[in-house]
Structure 1
Amino acid sequence: MDFSVTEEQKLIIETALRFVEEELYPYEEEVERTDAITPELVEQIKQKSIELGLYAAGMPEDCGGGGLDTLTMCMLDRALGRANMALNYTVYRPSNVLQACVGEQREKYLLPACRGEKVDCFAMTEPGAGSDVRGMKTFAKRDGSDFIINGTKHFISHADWADFVILMAATGEEDSARGKRKKITTFLVDKGTPGFTLRPGYKNVSHRGYHNFILDFEDCRIPESQVLGEVDKGFDVANDWLGATRLQVASLCLGRCDRALEHSLDWAANREQFGQKIAKFQGVSFKLADMKMRLKAAELLTYEAAWKYDNNCMEDMDAAIAKLNATEALAFIADEAIQIHGGMGVMSELPLERIWRDARIERIWEGTSEIQRHIISRALLRPLGA
């Protein structure tokens, strides 16, 4: 691997950091206080990010995206990740899975998503099927050239912003070494389709302003033309998206780590107790050293996985290691940052209590830490026949 940063990457990072400071930071207090982001602010941030080339930056150029490779996108997401989730996600990243669109699907879903005219959300998780994706109950039954969908999805992020849903549903069963398992198909479902309703989700300690929703499907009729990929091959469509999304989570965590560490360094270098700067105390300085060490390790693992992805040699284990390490590094760094700041660390005047709250969900969504460890351990043991 070449660890040098290109001039183009430097420019992108500088642009993104300036954008975060000028366009996102000023609204953090309002979003955190109200647990909401206004449509007007969403549109304002979107238009500014489009002007700067940050919007849909990771999608191919022939789709209207920025054409950035995965490694550069990780650097961009790291910069954006410094801000509140609702604000940074307004700089939209269409799901990579939309690249599976063909024919009229490209004109109806992919291209508008890259231009900023439409937003997608991904619906896979269910009340009874989180980590056990094959256990999903939502079922799409063929009816002539259509499918009739029934079931419920929950924990669906930014579904309120979305114009359409990328929905995974069971469409049959097949035999496997462990018995029957469900075949999964991916569908494109427009908001407003009869039989599809949206309900508010659950109150969440993390990510104020960025909400989750419950999606109900009751005899929702979808034409076969809105199948994404092939019938019964939904996991084939989703596999690349899941890996890239775990790298996105890892990168956003790096950005929060950066901000927490910077605040901690500034505080330690200027705060005085017992007649000297608290950075002079080993109890504080050693915390800073450990925070930097954990951050550097998370950075290298994330960037290595991204580099492998771009060179078509990333394995599931690489993305799992990156996501697991970065999310757990964030939990450690956020907690240590608050400890260094003492009482001020948990006050809303600083972003640390927000970073600390937001850190908790990162070890759960897009695959829990336990699932990541399962992926890693299976990759290690499978060649040995264990």
Structure 2
Amino acid sequence: MPFDFQPSDEQRMLVETTRAFIEKELYPLERQIDKLGHVPPEIGKELKEKAKAVGLYAANMPEEVGGGGLDVMSQMLFERELGKVNWALQKFVGRPSYILMACKGEQIEKYLLPTVRGDKSEVFALTEPGAGSDAMSITTRAEQDGDDYILNGGKHFITGVGEPDFAIVFTVTGMDETKRGPRKRITAFLVDRGTPGFTIRRGPRCVSYRAYDNWELFFDNVRLNKRQILGEEGKGFAVASEWLLGGRVFIAANCCGKAERAMELALDWAATRKQFGQTIGKFQGVSFKLADMKTEIAAADALTAYVCWKLQNGTMTDGDAGMAKLFATEMLGRVTDQAIQIFGGMGLMEELPLEMMWRDARVERIWEGTSEIQRHIISREMLRAKEQ
């Protein structure tokens, strides 16, 4: 099937609605929340209600659970627009973790549906001090005790907005023998805030997305019932894989949007700022930078759209997702840096959003799998294909 994507009228309307919402409701708050280092609860609540009113909240979730039911290509366009604004604000245009679709039985009413409605919020708790890129090195353990599990350990760099109502926690629940030797059996649990032994604490402040909360989670003999297992025991990574891979592609779309905003700011400046009797855009040193930005953004957009199309058609590989995430995040770093170069010293002043976008862009090459991990995934896939 050849790849040929042209947005439908409905998708164009989605983009226009999202863009209008961002420009009216989110851009005016960016500098305020960046300086505060958090989003005040009353502002967050108001934004959530406004997002619901225009039909943007939980747009990524299926219609049968109360979501917007966006297909992959529509969500790509949605994420691209949202990427233009700070993560701490765009998160209030809620996109619950798709992994919650693995909820079953009483979990649906307790976790899935309230999260889709915006009544509850969750965090995805995988990373640990000794297990970042190497997710299989997690040490947080849940030891079985009859029908219960006793959870001990900790997580860090767990991001979200506001203190979460529950965490999706990945733990070790045993070992499996494989052809390559013993392998940890990973299980995901739904852990409620307020459970005895479960402590949530703010982590260090990050220079990127300063107002996007960073949490540390601690578990001291936390007793959980087997009914709190998300999916099946020992299948934690299985329920997470689709969400993680899709997440990388949508981060790529997010970065394309942010890069476009940076380019447009630089373009406006180059077309109006005068030096030596003419606008600086007429100088080759500036105009070539603009040309490179436009080209790189177009290339990242094309790659991201192609990989999303493959995801929608069930043919996307780990390497495909890795390529989109790798190229788009590194492109964003180059574009924001060149935009500041065009502005000169003014680009680093707080009166403009560029210095904030420049700082924010840096973490994109780290979270959801570093650039080095993406290169490893891509090359491994290439080499394995040759071995077959």
Checking the alignment, whether the CA contact within 8 Å between 1:46 and 1:92 is kept in structure 2 is: yes
Deviation at 1:199, TM superposition (A): 1.1
The answer to whether the aligner puts 1:20 opposite 2:11 as a matched pair is no
The answer to whether the aligner puts 1:191 opposite 2:189 as a matched pair is no
Q: Which residue identity does 1:358 align to in structure 2? A: D
Using the alignment, how far apart are the partners of 1:352 and 1:152 within structure 2?
35
Using the alignment, how far apart are the partners of 1:144 and 1:36 within structure 2?
42
The answer to whether the aligner puts 1:84 opposite 2:86 as a matched pair is yes
Give 1:181's aligned residue.
183
Deviation at 1:379, TM superposition (A): 0.7
Give 1:355's aligned residue.
357
Using the alignment, how far apart are the partners of 2:189 and 2:101 within structure 1?
14
Using the alignment, how far apart are the partners of 2:303 and 2:143 within structure 1?
42
Give 1:328's aligned residue.
330
Name the SS of the counterpart of 2:361 in structure 1: helix
Checking the alignment, whether the CA contact within 8 Å between 1:159 and 1:213 is kept in structure 2 is: no
Query: TM-score, with normalisation over the residues of structure 1?
Result: 0.98
CA RMSD after TM alignment: 1.1
Checking the alignment, whether the CA contact within 8 Å between 1:260 and 1:337 is kept in structure 2 is: yes
Checking the alignment, whether the CA contact within 8 Å between 2:39 and 2:161 is kept in structure 1 is: no
Deviation digits for residues 35-57 of structure 1 (CA, Å, limit 9, x no counterpart): 12111110111001111111110
Of the three residues 104, 127, 148, the one matched with 1:146 is 148
Using the alignment, how far apart are the partners of 1:102 and 1:186 within structure 2?
13
Deviation at 1:344, TM superposition (A): 0.5
Checking the alignment, whether the CA contact within 8 Å between 1:121 and 1:159 is kept in structure 2 is: no
Of the three residues 95, 99, 102, the one matched with 2:101 is 99
**Would you say how many aligned residue pairs link Structure 1 and Structure 2?**
386
Using the alignment, how far apart are the partners of 2:38 and 2:123 within structure 1?
18
Deviation digits for residues 279-337 of structure 1 (CA, Å, limit 9, x no counterpart): 11111100001011111111111111111111111111111111101100000000000
Give 2:128's aligned residue.
126
Give 1:52's aligned residue.
54
Checking the alignment, whether the CA contact within 8 Å between 2:201 and 2:216 is kept in structure 1 is: yes
Using the alignment, how far apart are the partners of 2:360 and 2:285 within structure 1?
26
Using the alignment, how far apart are the partners of 1:43 and 1:27 within structure 2?
14
Give 2:343's aligned residue.
341
The answer to whether the aligner puts 1:372 opposite 2:388 as a matched pair is no
Q: Which residue identity does 2:304 align to in structure 1? A: T
Checking the alignment, whether the CA contact within 8 Å between 1:160 and 1:213 is kept in structure 2 is: no
Using the alignment, how far apart are the partners of 1:146 and 1:138 within structure 2?
16
Q: Which residue identity does 2:243 align to in structure 1? A: W
Give 1:265's aligned residue.
267
Give 2:209's aligned residue.
207
Give 1:171's aligned residue.
173
Of the three residues 218, 221, 226, the one matched with 2:220 is 218
**1:23-38 matches, cutoff 5 A:** 23-38=25-40
Checking the alignment, whether the CA contact within 8 Å between 2:88 and 2:161 is kept in structure 1 is: no
Q: What runs of 5+ residues in structure 1 fail to find an aligned partner?
A: none
Checking the alignment, whether the CA contact within 8 Å between 2:41 and 2:162 is kept in structure 1 is: no
Q: Which residue identity does 2:303 align to in structure 1? A: L
Deviation at 1:110, TM superposition (A): 0.7
Name the SS of the counterpart of 2:363 in structure 1: helix
Q: What runs of 5+ residues in structure 2 fail to find an aligned partner?
A: none
Name the SS of the counterpart of 1:242 in structure 2: helix
Deviation digits for residues 2-55 of structure 1 (CA, Å, limit 9, x no counterpart): 221100000000000000000001111211121121111101110011111111
Using the alignment, how far apart are the partners of 1:202 and 1:344 within structure 2?
29
Checking the alignment, whether the CA contact within 8 Å between 1:154 and 1:201 is kept in structure 2 is: yes
**1:208-247 matches, cutoff 5 A:** 208-247=210-249
Using the alignment, how far apart are the partners of 2:5 and 2:253 within structure 1?
16
Q: Which residue identity does 2:42 align to in structure 1? A: E
Using the alignment, how far apart are the partners of 1:265 and 1:161 within structure 2?
39
Checking the alignment, whether the CA contact within 8 Å between 1:78 and 1:253 is kept in structure 2 is: yes
Of the three residues 73, 76, 93, the one matched with 2:75 is 73
Using the alignment, how far apart are the partners of 1:265 and 1:162 within structure 2?
40
Of the three residues 42, 45, 49, the one matched with 1:43 is 45
Deviation at 1:159, TM superposition (A): 6.6
Deviation at 1:209, TM superposition (A): 0.9
Using the alignment, how far apart are the partners of 1:173 and 1:214 within structure 2?
26
Instruction: Write out the 4+ residue segments of structure 1 that deviate beyond 6 Å after TM superposition.
Output: none
Name the SS of the counterpart of 1:99 in structure 2: helix
Using the alignment, how far apart are the partners of 1:3 and 1:179 within structure 2?
45
Give 1:115's aligned residue.
117
Using the alignment, how far apart are the partners of 1:288 and 1:177 within structure 2?
52
Deviation digits for residues 256-277 of structure 1 (CA, Å, limit 9, x no counterpart): 1011000011011111111111
Percentage of identical aligned residues: 54
Deviation at 1:161, TM superposition (A): 3.3
Checking the alignment, whether the CA contact within 8 Å between 1:264 and 1:341 is kept in structure 2 is: yes
Checking the alignment, whether the CA contact within 8 Å between 2:161 and 2:212 is kept in structure 1 is: no
Using the alignment, how far apart are the partners of 1:327 and 1:177 within structure 2?
36
